[in-house]
Amino acid sequence: MSETDLKHIAEDYKWGFADDVEPELKLKGLSEDVVRAISRAKGEPEWLLEFRLKALETYFSKPWPTWGPDLSELRRQMDDFYYYVKPPVEGERRSWDEV
């Protein structure tokens, strides 16, 4: 990714749409703690948590690709990403008509 591309990504959004709602859950970075927190927030069964943790372990064990574009800048920024953001819940919804 070029410096120009990175500058465009960091610019304020100029098209007018903005959402000022503060999320209920906002987890930064990718780690075992984050995966556990997401699973807990979603009320997932233990077997699914174990599956996700095994997948995370596999992900971290793989080397970064050495072919294609330079990913070094992306690699440095991986812990700055929000991999899960849960919007606030305004009452429980029981059907799609209530959404």
Q: Can you give the residue ranges of every domain in the chain?
A: 26-86
How sure is the predictor about 82, in pLDDT bands with cuts at 50, 70 and 90?
A: confident
C-alpha to C-alpha distance for 49 and 37, rounded to whole angstroms: 10
pTM of the model: 0.65
Instruction: Give the HSE-up count for residue 58: Cα atoms under 13 Å, Cβ half-sphere.
Output: 6
pLDDT digits (tens, 9 = 90+) for 39-65: 998 899 999 999 999 999 999 999 988
52 burial level (CB within 10 Å; 0-12, 13-18, 19+): middle
